[in-house]
């Protein structure tokens, strides 16, 4: 089981003065195979929650469990994609995607075969020998996704993976991500600033708010899959957008979002 449980999660940062409690009482459950997005105002702690789920940040109270295992450090059960794909510039695309498998000691033939498979899956077949600087921002994010998938993690943690892309590429990437996710439905936790993106991708949206922040509302997105342009244009989609905008920016902002 690759469900994720956040149980009374608290995240504090210690500096020179008093510790700063960024997140407190964050409770949530992401079901096995579910696609959950997290939204909230800038600085509310979305990335902190994701870093803690990856095991890179130790909670000051509470715990995170993947299945029945308490998260204490990064592990092969989790694949991570950040806003900046953080590729190694001196490595080819193939070698970047194969990197995690190399770290796991997978033999060369197997890891290159697997890397090629995932490069093809993200639509970059033919670019295996290119270097990251020869690719567009969207292509680099595709490489980041292929790299995260190559080790076959149970859980994908994604922090604004399309945040640096233009609006059109961003929409395209969201559709592509859902196509890939649909192949084996990994458990996904996806942080975004984008209201449309949050609704389009998710089975459920976790809305963060408060100070220190926590989950203030969980919205079940009852829209059909596969999600496509027709779903995006539907009245139901518009209602979810308006509701989310109201929650995040107040009633006036919600009214300004066209459905």
**Beta carbon of residue 227, minimum distance to ligand ATP (angstroms, whole number):** 24
Our CA dihedral for 169, 176, 174, 184, rounded to 10 degrees, sits at -160
Which residues have CB under 8 Å from 125's CB, separation 6+? 116, 119
Q: What track of x and - describes contact with ligand ATP for positions 27 through 66 (by CB under 6 A)?
A: -------------x-xxxxxxx------------------
13 near ligand ATP, rule: CB under 6 A: yes
Question: What does the per-residue mask of binding to ligand ATP show for 203-232, with x meaning CB under 6 A?
Answer: ------------------------------
Of 97 and 202, the one with the shorter C-beta distance to ligand ATP is 202
Is 10 a binder of ligand ATP (CB under 6 A)? no
Contacts of 140 (CB under 8 A, 6+ apart): 85, 87, 132
Sign of the Cα torsion 12, 15, 19, 20 reads negative
Spell out the residues 6+ positions from residue 52 whose beta carbon is closer than 8 angstroms to its own.
Answer: 9, 11, 58, 59, 64, 71
Cα angle 223, 7, 149 (rounded to 5 degrees) comes to: 55
Whichever of 124 and 188 has its CB closer to ligand ATP, that residue is 188
Looking at beta carbons only, is 46 or 227 nearer to ligand ATP? 46
Cβ-based nearer residue to ligand ATP, 218 or 233: 218
Min dist. Cβ of residue 106 to ligand ATP (A): 33
> Does residue 18 interact with ligand ATP by CB under 6 A?
no
The minimum distance between CB 135 and ligand ATP, in angstroms, equals 24
- Rounded CA-CA distance 85/139 in Å is 10
The 3-state secondary structure of 211-223, one letter per residue: CCEEEEEEEECCC
Give the interface size with ligand ATP as a residue count (CB under 6 A): 11
Q: What is the DSSP string of 133-183?
A: GGS-HHHHHHHHHHHHHHT--SEEEEESTTTTS-HHHHHHHHHHHHHHHHH
Judged by beta carbon, residue 15 or residue 89, the one nearer ligand ATP is 15
* Residue ranges in 125-184 that form contacts with ligand ATP under rule CB under 6 A: none
Interacting residues toward ligand ATP by CB under 6 A: 13, 20, 22, 40, 42-48
């Amino acid at each position: 089981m690759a469900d994720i449980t956040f149980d009374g999660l608290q995240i504090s940062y210690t500096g020179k003065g008093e510790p700063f409690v960024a997140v407190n009482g964050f409770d949530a459950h992401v079901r096995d195979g579910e696609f959950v997005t997290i939204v909230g105002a800038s600085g509310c702690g979305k990335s902190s929650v994701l870093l803690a789920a990856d095991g890179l940040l130790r909670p000051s109270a509470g715990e995170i469990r993947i299945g029945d295992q308490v998260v204490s450090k990064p592990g092969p059960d989790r694949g991570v994609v950040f806003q900046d794909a953080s590729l190694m510039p001196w490595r080819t695309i193939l070698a970047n995607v194969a990197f995690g498998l190399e770290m796991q000691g997978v033999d060369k033939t197997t890891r290159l075969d697997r890397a090629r498979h995932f490069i093809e899956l993200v639509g970059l077949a033919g670019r295996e020998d290119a270097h990251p600087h020869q690719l567009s921002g969207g292509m680099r994010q595709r490489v980041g996704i292929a790299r995260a998938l190559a080790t076959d993690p149970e859980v994908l943690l994604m922090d604004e993976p399309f945040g640096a892309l233009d609006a059109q590429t961003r929409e395209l990437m969201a559709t592509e991500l859902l196509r890939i996710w649909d192949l084996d439905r990994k458990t996904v936790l996806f942080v975004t600033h984008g209201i449309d993106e949050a609704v389009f991708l998710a089975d459920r949206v976790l809305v963060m708010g408060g100070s220190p922040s926590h989950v203030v509302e969980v919205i079940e997105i009852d829209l059909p899959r596969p999600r496509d342009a027709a779903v995006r244009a539907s009245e139901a989609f518009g209602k979810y957008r308006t509701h989310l905008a109201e929650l995040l920016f107040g009633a006036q902002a919600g009214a300004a979002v066209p459905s």
